[in-house]
Amino acid sequence: MAKAVRITSEEPGAFFQHRPVVATIVTAHARGMDNALAIGLHTLISHNPPICGIAVMPERFTYELITESKEFGVNFLSFEEVELVCAVGSSTGREIDKFQKFNIVKDKSVRTAVPILKNAYAAYECKLVDDRGYGNHRWLVGDIVAVHWLKEVYTPENTLDLDKVSPILFLGRNVYLTTSKDSARSIGRIVH
């Protein structure tokens, strides 16, 4: 293998594509309509109480719906749904009803009015508790008020069973991939 060249720069360039992210579908409901968009910039912020954050550009139609309703949903889908992620991430709810156009099947939400996707292996219902601008995104923080998951795709230890679900990873530039079950390792650690 050729010698690795490490670039060090104060110019970020395409730094956001330097590592994979898990692609999700974020949902919202307001003005009597449902909408969905793809989100790669998200994270859990707290386990207890459960809190998560998503970075949404203010020009997204979904941003308007979330700030009006003060609710959003986060849906994790398996790799079979990668084209749906791409479809909701390259169209706007200002022009089309994505649920109708892409035949998205919903499941019942319990604490909010946001659509939960029937095919999601895990999903959160969130109540918006903070909305701040950082650079070109808004950082929306949500209290997770209900979680949904498909019991049969989890191991007895509550980790994803990779024989049953392949998560969607996104590298940027329209490149998606999934995990290899053979690469999974269980490595013990001492918890301090």
Ligand X SMILES: Cc1cc2nc3c(=O)[nH]c(=O)nc-3n(C[C@H](O)[C@H](O)[C@H](O)COP(=O)(O)O)c2cc1C
Where do contacts with ligand X occur on this chain (CB under 6 A)? 23, 35, 37-41, 55-57, 60-62, 85-86, 89-94, 170
The SS3 of residue 39 is: strand
Q: Rounded to the nearest whole angstrom, what is the least distance from the CB of residue 37 to ligand X in the complex?
A: 4
Encoded tokens for 84: 């749906």
Give the nearer residue to ligand X in terms of CB position, either 92 or 179: 92
Q: How many helices (H) and strands (E) does the chain have?
A: 3, 12
Cα–Cα dist 56/62, whole Å: 8
| Residue 69 φ then ψ, to 5° | -90, -20
Nearest in space to 31 (alpha carbons), one of 106, 73, 94: 94
Give residue 89's Cα distance to chain centre: 11
DSSP-derived letter for residue 110 is S
Q: Considering the complex, what minimum distance in angstroms separates the CB of residue 120 from ligand X?
A: 16
* Of 50 and 89, CB closest to ligand X: 89
State the minimum distance, in angstroms, from the CB of residue 107 to ligand X: 20
> How far apart are CB 61 and ligand X at their closest, in Å?
4
Number of CB atoms found within 10 A of residue 102's CB: 14
Nearer to ligand X, 92 or 154 (CB): 92
Q: Which residue in 54, 48, 37 sits closest to 126, CA to CA?
A: 54
92 vs 178, beta carbon nearer ligand X: 92
Nearer to ligand X, 12 or 49 (CB): 12
Spell out the residues 6+ positions from residue 7 whose beta carbon is closer than 8 angstroms to its own: none
Nearest-CB residue to ligand X? 89
* Least distance CB 22 / ligand X (angstroms): 10
